[in-house]
Chains A and B, each alone.
Chain A
Amino acid sequence: MIEKTAAELSQALSSGVISSVELTQSYLDRIKKYNAELNAYITICEDTALSQAKTADEKRAAGDSSPLLGVPLAHKDIFCTNGVTTTCGSRMLHNFVAPYDATVVEKFNTAGAVMLGKTNMDEFAMGSSNETSFFGPVKNPWDIKRVPGGSSGGSAAAVAADLCAMATGTDTGGSIRQPAAFCGITGFKPSYGRVSRWGMIAFASSLDQAGPLCKSAEDAALMTNVMAGLDKKDSTSIDKPVEDYAATLNDSLQGLKIGIPKQHFAEGLTAEVEKGIREALREYEKLGATLIEVDLPNNHLSVSAYYVVAPAEASANLSRYDGVRYGYRCENPVDLDDMYKRTRSEGFGDEVKRRILVGTYALSAGYYDAYYRKAQKIRRLIKNDFVEAFKEVDVIVGPTSPHTAFELGAKTDPVTMYLEDIYTIAVNLAGLPGISIPAGLSNGLPIGMHIVGKDFGEAKLLNVAHQFQQQTDWHRQKPNFGQEG
């Protein structure tokens, strides 16, 4: 049962095949057995999960038929959870017990989903391999010598290894989509503004967006139905009606125009990933879609512009960690400046400090125009590339990552790690929705296919992903890890 999609579990719960308490217990047992090896969870909420499950069973018995009622999920440890430690993968917040629920968490609570625990992540979501976590790296269930991707690596590994039915994540430059690709699952970043960021610890405020990591596009639709919507507490959440994303999943793709960006099939892409994506594209042709080459001429500048915008916003956002109001404080500070500096130097890891320094530099007097303003201009060019391309096509498809999951410790140089997100970062800069779905295996490791939609084109994107999953079973493939009997 634990391997099933959330949609299937919802059916099983409503038909009484299993109760939420039984289901929750199965996942908790599995977490106990396998989490030590994977390190996917930072916090496990056994007691509250079982009590939420009991409540869900009672509600179902009383006639409540909310789709995700009683379905067990995990939240990335970037979402504040009332009364539960929220670490953001950092020593700085290792002891921070959030005094409120993030809007996303509150929405899942209202929908009756059961929270199993909080998942591991790169520190403050800064990383592409989950190796920057203060709580140690997460292992990829497909090969425990390899990384699960990042920064939502714990969520991706937990879904892939069936340590939960579904999980939340956040994506600033690829942090949902790249780990979804590496772990062979479905990961969806909605348009910027579609999901509230309130209570989601800020990294780069003009780029961060929450979304689902799950076992199918249909599950992503069900989760987005819960997560999306205007939130008065987030001034950047958009006042636009939420569609029923599950309603159009079965629309025909006859006549769909798929853009193939030549820049995503160029130098740097490994042969095995290219082969997998080309084969997947043939499936779309069988479904009646047409492939059209599109040009994203400024894509190669997206990583450069991102590493100004994201660190600049991060340096401002992370200035709040000063050892005064919550979180870590250094021992025996001699004066205020010493307290700030040692608290921040001991509380943050190397990658976070590096990005704060880069951001501070880019924003410092005399450099603002050369860096921050320049990056904002490049950002406009990148957005314009998409605007032009979407005049010709309905969605844009390519690889999520140039290669499959790499080995732990293989990439020690920050710039090499930053280039990991070469296909995903432009989507955040432009604010568009993007999804990664499994599209093949290479040497036993999953290949992720990246589909990008128009502004607030969530429904079409999920429809396009779902139709592929009706034709193929890549999203049903499981790692050998944790397979019993």
Chain B
Amino acid sequence: MALDKSEVEKIAQLARLHISEADAEEVANRITDILALIDQMQSVDTESVEPMAHPLDVVQRLRADTVTETDNRDELQTLAPEAQDGLYLVPKVLE
């Protein structure tokens, strides 16, 4: 399937990526090439095949519902680009 520039813009918006006008065509062409590689799968009839989501056929392990994590908010917030009073700061969302 060939992707055009407007479809690339739509996917980029979903992925929160900005693709410049100058790059859009190049990106669309590269992705079209990748989709052509992927489309080789379509030649095989998989109607009756059970999908395999994961290599391990195991059930999720459960643990006792007890607190295992300690509070390390302050330490983690030192990694943030902007934090104040225990809160992460981002540009204003509401006017």
Judge whether A333 is part of the interface by a CB distance below 8 angstroms. yes
Contact B17 A414 (CB under 8 A): no
The answer to whether A345 and B18 touch (CB under 8 A), given A354-B31, A378-B46, A415-B33, is: yes
- The residues of A that contact B81 with a CB separation of less than 8 Å are 323-324, 326-329
Contact B15 A418 (CB under 8 A): no
Judge whether B22 is part of the interface by a CB distance below 8 angstroms. no
Contact B80 A325 (CB under 8 A): yes
Judge whether B67 is part of the interface by a CB distance below 8 angstroms. no
Contact A377 B52 (CB under 8 A): yes
Interface size class of chain A, counting residues whose CB lies under 8 Å from the partner chain: 35 or more
Judge whether A379 is part of the interface by a CB distance below 8 angstroms. yes
- The residues of A that contact B39 with a CB separation of less than 8 Å are 304
- The 8 A CB mask of B63-95 against A (1 = contact, 0 = none) is 100000000100110011110000010111100
Nearest-neighbor residue (CB-CB) of B7 within chain A: A361
Nearest-neighbor residue (CB-CB) of A351 within chain B: B30
Contact A301 B41 (CB under 8 A): yes
Contact A99 B72 (CB under 8 A): yes
- The 8 A CB mask of A341-361 against B (1 = contact, 0 = none) is 110110010000110111011
Of B30, B37, B42, the residue contacting A307 (CB under 8 A) is: B37
- The residues of B that contact A305 with a CB separation of less than 8 Å are 41
Contact B41 A206 (CB under 8 A): no
Contact A377 B51 (CB under 8 A): yes
- The 8 A CB mask of B1-38 against A (1 = contact, 0 = none) is 00100001001101111110000000100110111111
- The residues of A that contact B8 with a CB separation of less than 8 Å are 357
Contact A357 B12 (CB under 8 A): yes
Task: For the complex formed, measure the closest distance between the CB of B68 and the CB atoms of chain A, giving whole angstroms.
Answer: 9
The answer to whether A206 and B54 touch (CB under 8 A), given A232-B63, A324-B90, A364-B11, is: yes
- The residues of B that contact A232 with a CB separation of less than 8 Å are 61, 63
* Other contacts beyond A358-B35, A430-B55: 7, CB < 8 A: A193-B58, A206-B54, A235-B61, A304-B40, A319-B16, A339-B91, A342-B18
A-B contact pairs, 25 of them (CB 8 A): A99-B75, A99-B79, A193-B55, A304-B38, A305-B41, A325-B76, A325-B88, A327-B81, A333-B91, A336-B90, A336-B91, A345-B19, A348-B17, A353-B27, A357-B8, A358-B31, A358-B34, A364-B14, A370-B42, A373-B51, A377-B46, A378-B46, A413-B33, A414-B33, A418-B34
**Which 3 A-B residue pairs are closest in the complex by CB-CB distance?**
A431-B55, A376-B51, A329-B81
B interface residues, Cβ below 8 angstroms from A: 3, 8, 11-12, 14-19, 27, 30-31, 33-42, 44, 46, 49-56, 58, 60-61, 63, 72, 75-76, 79-82, 88, 90-93
